[in-house]
Structure formats: structure tokens, C-alpha cells
Structure 1
Amino acid sequence: MRTALTDLVGARHPVVQSGMGWVAGPRLVTAVARAGALGILGSATMTTGQLRAAVREVKSRTDRPFGVNLRADAGDASERVRILVEEGVKVASLAQAPSRELIARLKDAGVVVIPSVGARRHAEKVAAWGADAVVVQGGEGGGHTGEVATTVLLPQVIDAVGIPVVAAGGFHDGRGLVAALAYGASGIAMGTRFLLTADSTVPAAVKAAYLAATVRDVTVTSKVDGLPHRMLRTPFVTGLEGAGRAASLVRAVRHAAAFRKVSGMSWPQMVREGRTMRHGRDLTWSQVLLAANTPMLLRAAMVEGRTDLGVMAAGQVAGVIEDLPSCAELVGRIMAEAEAALRGLPSATCLREIP
């Protein structure tokens, strides 16, 4: 299935695997790329050394195109861009609001730039700055999310920009792909669906928790880091929501110290990161400190398998996913379902005959 997205990035199928921290490592990205979709390394939870090693590992396993997700507001974003350029990475997926200068530097090096946005105005801005495409995530998506549903946000953005649009939030099968294409999108991006595959390194106990969830077990809370975050509702999450301000800050300090060790950052670097996060956003220092909760609580679940002490970011589709196929099986299934859905649509002649 050829679309503007497949032409842009060189993938065989218009399907993108989201760059999830602690989840989208070399094994998953390689499997997605081999399946003909576009895999994205989640680099926000990697040191720069780990990022370069991960890129080289994927390159050693497949010659198919793949990308790297960058946090545009990271203090070492410039160093990470240099790694992408030196290693010949095809695509840069950008979280947070990228600067005009960052987009220009990537494009000058021949890297395809695809920011993620959650509002029409953000899509218009990055398109004006030269972004090659945008991923548009509606409120159904996992992780940090907005309030506007994909079915409302997607056509708004498509009507506003003249670059390829990738739909995210609520997609898991071929019917969703066809629906996105009908809106005018060039493909779909999926996080939770790829997390729940046999190629994902997420521990079995965590995958089991996702598979057992219903759509009512997926909630949005701001108690993890002060920003809306969609995840599975667990007793631990319920406890976070009932914790007082003092307890939340103490926990955030503890997690900030732990994240410093994992990331290899110094305390001065952590402070600079905080200042960068606050720039241009209405964040208090308490919210910046709380942001340390996110990577460590996700790590507890996604790496250590602690469903009792970690959080599990989840799109609403977690409530309808029931199996753990390989990435090759999943992508093949999605494309077969899409073809069947297209064949099942009424023809233009039939539509004209309906009174």
C-alpha cells in the first residue's frame, strides 16, 4: 500500500511504531522494520552512548529504514542530533515542541523530520518551519495526551497543513488504517499494539496486565508528573492519586536521584534540563521535579516487571487487544484487514443508488 508516508520514509507499509521509552529498543525496532513498517527507537530513556549503540545494533540486523525519537527540549538534543546524522538514521521523530533551528539542522543533514503534535496550531507551526510530516495523536493515545479525540483532531490538522499526516491514538488494526486513510491521513502510528507483541521486551507479567484490562481500566491522571498521562488503572495508580502534595514531592526527589544514576547525568545537568522544560511552558518547579517520576515509574514496570510499583502507559485500545503476535504477523494481519475492509466498502455506483 503506497502512500505519501511510505514514499517519504521508504517503508513498505504505512504503519509506524511509536518511540516508547524503555520499550522501543533495538529488538522491537528491528522486528518492525523487517515487517515492512517504520520502527522508531525510543531514545529519551537512553544515554547518548546507549543511543549510538542501539542505532548500530538495529543497522547490523536490518537494512530497512528506521527512525529515532528525540525529546526536542532535552539539554543534550544537539548531541543526539549529531549521533543521528553521523550514523545515517533515516527519520527523526520529535517529541515536545521542536525549534525551527533543530528542524533545519536535521533537514540540512538529509534526515526526514516528523514531529508529534496534539493540536492544530502546533501542526501549523512545525509545518511552516519545514517539518516533512506530522504525527497527530488524539486523546485516546497512551502516555502524555490531550483531551481532543483523534476523530476530531485528525481532520482539523489534515485540513490545515500540506504535508503527510500520520494518525495516532486508538489504532490497532486494518479497519483503523482504512479509516485514517479515508480522513486523508497517510498512515497510522501505534504504541500499545506494538508493545503487546512477542517481539516486545516488556516483561510477561506486565503484558498479562495489559491483556486483562478492559477499556474502563484505562485512565488519565496528572498525579504522576503533573501533566495528563493515560495509563492502566492499578491500585498503585489509585494510591498516587490519593497521595498528598508533600508525599508526591518526596517521591519525586527520590525518583530524580534514581533517574540521575540511570541516565548518567550530573545534578547541574538535571537543573539545566529542568530549566529547559520550563522554558515557554507554564510549569512550576514542583511540576518539573514531578517529571522525574515518569521515566522511573515506567522503568519499574516496563523493565523490572513491577506492576505493583510502576505505571503502565496505555492507549484505550489496550482494552480490546487480546493476543501477542510477532511484529511480522501483526503488520501482515493489519494489511490483510485493510485490504478486506477496502473491498467491503460499497462502490460509488451502489452509493448513488441508495435513495
Structure 2
Amino acid sequence: MRTALTDLTGVRHPVVQTGMGWVSGPRLVTATARAGALGILASATMAPDRLRSAVREVKSRTDAPFGVNLRADAADAPERVRIIVEEGVRVASFALAPSRELIAELKDAGVVVVPSVGARRHAEKVAAWGADAVIVQGGEGGGHTGEVATSVLLPQVVDAVDIPVVAAGGFHDGRGLVAALAYGAAGVAMGTRFLLTSDSTVPDAVKACYLAATVHDITRTTAVDGVPHRMLRTDLVSALEGAGRVRSLARAAGRASRFRRISGLSRRSMVRDGFALRHGKDLSWSQLLLAANTPMLLRAAMVEGRTDAGVMASGQVAALIEDLPSVADLVARIMTEAEETLEGLRRFGHRPPEPGPPGA
């Protein structure tokens, strides 16, 4: 299936595996690239030297295109951009709108720039600055997300920009891909669906929680880091929502310190990132400390398998997922379903109209 996304990135299928912290590592990205979709490494939880080694690990396993996701507001973003350029990564994905200068540096080096946005005005801004494409996530998506549904936000963005738009938030199968294409998108991006594969390194106990979730078990809360965050509702999430401010901040400070040791980031770098985050989201200092706490809560679940002590970011689509296929089987199934859906629409289009009720 050829679209503007496949032409731009060189992948075979218009499907993107998003960059999820602690989840989108070399193993998952390699499996995605081999399957013909666009895998994206999540670098925000990696020190720069670990990012370089992760990129080289993927390149040693496949020559298919892949991408790297990074925080545009990180103090060391320029260093990470240099790594992407030096290592010959095909796509740079951004969790926040990158600066005009970063976009220009990447484009001059032949890297495809694809920021992720949650509002039309942000898509218009990065398009004007030279972004090659944009991923637009509706409120159904997991992690930090807005409140506008994909079915409303996607056509807004498609109509507002003249670059390829990739739809995210609520997609997991071939029917969704066809729906996104009908809206004018060039493909779909999925996080939760790729997390729930046999190639994902997320512990089995955590995957079981996702598979057991209903639509009522997936919530959008500000209790974790002060900004809207979609995740599975657990006893921990309920406790955070009911905890007092002082107790929450004390725990957050401890987890932020642990994240610094694990990630290899310096205190100065974390402070600089904090200033950038506070400015970009207009957070209070207490909210900022809670935001610094988030990586460790995610790591507790996604790496350590501690469903009692971690948070599990999740799109609403988790309620529709019932299996753990390999990435290769998942991508093949999505493309087969998409073709079957399109063929069904074609057959329907050739049928004579059904007679209406008397008097119609």
C-alpha cells in the first residue's frame, strides 16, 4: 500500500510504531522495521551514549528505515540530533514541537522530520517551519494526550497543512487504517498495539493487565504529573489521586533522583529540562516535580513488572486488544484487513441501491 508516508520514509506499509519510553527499544524497533513498518526508538529515557549504541544495535540487525524520538525541549537535544545525523537515522520524531533551527539542521542532513502534535495550531506551526510530516494524536491515545477525539482533530489537521499527516489515537487494526486514509491521513501510528506484541519487552504480568482492561479501566488523570495523562486505572493511580500534595511531592523527589542515576542525566541537565518543561506547559513548581517523577513510575511497570508500584500508559484501544502476536504477524494482519476492507467497500459500491420504505 503506497501513500505519502511510505514514499517519504521508505517503508513498505503506512504504519508507525511510536516511541514509548522504556518500551520502544532496539528489539521492538528492529521487529517493526523488518515487518516493513516504521519503528521509532524512544530516546528520552536513554543517556546519549546509550542512544548511539541502541541505534547501532538496530542497524546491525536490519537495513530497513527506522526513526528516533526525542524531546525537543531537552537540554541535550542538539547532541541527540548530532547522533541521529552521524549514525544515518532516516527519521527524527519529536514529542514536542522542535525549533526551526533543529528542523533545519536535520533536513540539511537529509533526515525526515516528523513531530507529534495534539492540536491544529501546533501542526500549522511545525509545517511552516519545514517539518516533512506530522503525527497527530487524538484524545483516545495513551500517555500525555489532549481531549479532542481523533475523529475531530484529524480532519482539522489534514485540512490545515499541506504535508503528510499520520493519525494516532484509537488505532489497532486494518479497519482503522482505512478509516484514517478516508479522513485524508497518510498512515496510522500506534503505541499500545505494538506494546502488546510478543516482540515487546514489557513483562508478561503487565501485558496481562492491559489484556484484561475494559474501556472503564482506562482513565485520563492529572494526578501523576500534573498534566492530562491516559493510563490504566490501578490502585496506585487511585491512591495518587487521593494523596495529599506534600506526600506526593516527597515521593516524587525520591523517584526523580533515582531516574537521574539510572538515565545517566546530570542534575544540571535535569534542571535545564525542568525549566523548559515548565515554560512549555506553564506548570507550577510542584507540578514540575511530579513530572520529573513520571519516568520512574513508568519504568517500575514497563521494565520491572511492578504493576502495584508503576503506572501503565495506555490508549483506550487497549480494551479492544485480546492477543499478543509477533510484530510481523500484526503488521501483516493489519495490511490484510485493510485490503479486505477496501475490497468490501468496492463491492458495496457496485451493488444496486436497496429499496427505501414505502413513500420514500
TM-score by length of 1: 0.98
Q: Which amino acid aligns with 2:51?
A: L
Q: Distance in 1 between matches of 2:213 and 2:279?
A: 37
Q: Distance in 2 between matches of 1:165 and 1:266?
A: 36
SS at match of 1:171: coil
Q: Name the counterpart of 1:3.
A: 3
Cα deviation for residue 280 of structure 1 reads 4.1
Q: Name the counterpart of 1:82.
A: 82
Output aligned runs, 1:1-355, within 5 Å: 1-346=1-346, 347-350=348-351
SS at match of 2:94: strand
Query: For residues 57-85 of structure 1, what are the alpha-carbon distances to aligned partners after superposition, in whole Å with 9 as ceiling and x for unaligned?
Result: 00000000000001100010000000000
Cα deviation for residue 165 of structure 1 reads 0.3
Instruction: Please provide the CA RMSD for this pair.
Output: 1.2
Q: Which amino acid aligns with 1:326?
A: S
Q: Distance in 1 between matches of 2:158 and 2:108?
A: 26
Structure 1 pair 62/290, CA: closer, same or farther in 2 (3 Å)?
same
Q: Distance in 2 between matches of 1:266 and 1:272?
A: 10
Q: Distance in 2 between matches of 1:350 and 1:26?
A: 48
Q: Distance in 1 between matches of 2:158 and 2:208?
A: 36
Q: Distance in 2 between matches of 1:287 and 1:303?
A: 25
Q: Distance in 2 between matches of 1:313 and 1:253?
A: 21
Give 4+ residue runs of structure 1 displaced > 3 Å after superposition.
Answer: 346-355
Verify the 8 A CA contact 2:211 2:323 in the aligned structure 1: yes
SS at match of 1:11: coil
Q: Which amino acid aligns with 2:100?
A: R
Cα deviation for residue 215 of structure 1 reads 1.2
Q: Which moved more, 1:272-281 or 1:185-194?
A: 272-281
Cα deviation for residue 353 of structure 1 reads 7.6
Q: Distance in 2 between matches of 1:268 and 1:53?
A: 24
Q: Distance in 2 between matches of 1:354 and 1:129?
A: 53
Cα deviation for residue 350 of structure 1 reads 4.0
Q: Distance in 2 between matches of 1:270 and 1:127?
A: 29
Q: Distance in 1 between matches of 2:217 and 2:249?
A: 26
Structure 1 pair 313/354, CA: closer, same or farther in 2 (3 Å)?
farther
SS at match of 1:68: strand
Corresponding pairs, count: 355
Q: Which amino acid aligns with 2:109?
A: A
Verify the 8 A CA contact 2:25 2:54 in the aligned structure 1: yes
Query: For residues 159-205 of structure 1, what are the alpha-carbon distances to aligned partners after superposition, in whole Å with 9 as ceiling and x for unaligned?
Result: 00000000000000000000000000000000000000000000010
Cα deviation for residue 331 of structure 1 reads 0.3
Q: Which amino acid aligns with 1:119?
A: A
Verify the 8 A CA contact 2:9 2:65 in the aligned structure 1: yes
Cα deviation for residue 286 of structure 1 reads 1.3
Q: Distance in 2 between matches of 1:279 and 1:291?
A: 13
SS at match of 1:279: helix
Q: Distance in 1 between matches of 2:9 and 2:107?
A: 13
Structure 1 pair 138/87, CA: closer, same or farther in 2 (3 Å)?
same
SS at match of 2:141: coil
SS at match of 1:231: strand
Q: Distance in 2 between matches of 1:349 and 1:334?
A: 25
SS at match of 2:21: coil
Q: Distance in 1 between matches of 2:210 and 2:287?
A: 28
Cα deviation for residue 275 of structure 1 reads 1.2
Q: Which amino acid aligns with 1:275?
A: F
Cα deviation for residue 248 of structure 1 reads 1.1
Q: Distance in 1 between matches of 2:245 and 2:267?
A: 23
SS at match of 2:162: coil
Verify the 8 A CA contact 2:76 2:269 in the aligned structure 1: no
Q: Distance in 2 between matches of 1:128 and 1:177?
A: 27
Unmatched 5+ residue regions in structure 2? Answer: none
Q: Distance in 2 between matches of 1:224 and 1:293?
A: 8
Query: For residues 328-352 of structure 1, what are the alpha-carbon distances to aligned partners after superposition, in whole Å with 9 as ceiling and x for unaligned?
Result: 0000000000001001115545477
Unmatched 5+ residue regions in structure 1? Answer: none
Q: Distance in 1 between matches of 2:266 and 2:182?
A: 49
SS at match of 1:207: helix
Q: Distance in 1 between matches of 2:355 and 2:149?
A: 31
Cα deviation for residue 287 of structure 1 reads 1.4
Q: Which amino acid aligns with 1:98?
A: P
Cα deviation for residue 281 of structure 1 reads 3.4
Cα deviation for residue 279 of structure 1 reads 2.6
Query: For residues 3-48 of structure 1, what are the alpha-carbon distances to aligned partners after superposition, in whole Å with 9 as ceiling and x for unaligned?
Result: 0000000000000000000000000000000000000001110010
SS at match of 1:345: helix
